[in-house]
Structure 1
Amino acid sequence: MAVQVNLAKGLDKAYENKDLGDILDARPSALAGLTEKHDALLKEALNIKTVRELGANKYFALAGVLVALEGKEG
């Protein structure tokens, strides 16, 4: 089964038509709302240089899981 996802609103305009691999290899500022200043801060504080590293970071990944679980404990 094919799955289609429209990420345009979550990406900087320059990345809206890029392949997933190109987006994952891009600086975090490829995500809408992040700037080159955020790139520098993430690199300095957490050594995160790409969208892939941001998504794979254990702290961000754990935070995402905790948010997804909110209201489901039972």
Structure 2
Amino acid sequence: MAISVNLEKGLDKAYENKSLDEILAAPPSALAGLTEKHDEQLREALGIKTIADLGSNKYFALAGVLVALGNKQG
């Protein structure tokens, strides 16, 4: 089953037409609103170099679960 997702507003313009593998391997600044300065800070503070690292980071994953649970309460 094919899945289509519009990520235009979530990605930097340079990454809008990239494959999922290319996006996951891209630096966090490929996400709209983040800059190369954020890349540097994430790398230095948490060892995050790619979007895949960011999405699989235990702190961000836990925060996402907590937010989702909070949204279910109300």
After TM superposition, the score normalised by the length of structure 1 is 0.93
Letter matched to residue 22 of structure 2: D
The match for 2:9 is 9
Summarize the alignment of residues 35-74 of structure 1 with structure 2, pairs less than 5 Å apart: 35-73=35-73
Rounded to whole Å, the distance in 2 between the matches of 1:52 and 1:29 is 12
Aligned residues: 74
Letter matched to residue 53 of structure 1: D
Rounded to whole Å, the distance in 2 between the matches of 1:40 and 1:69 is 31
1:4: how far off? 1.2
The match for 2:32 is 32
Gaps of 5+ in 2: none
Change (3 A) 1:41 1:4: same
Letter matched to residue 13 of structure 2: K
- RMSD (Å), alpha carbons: 1.4
After TM superposition, the score normalised by the length of structure 2 is 0.93
Q: Percent identity over the alignment?
A: 74
Letter matched to residue 39 of structure 1: D
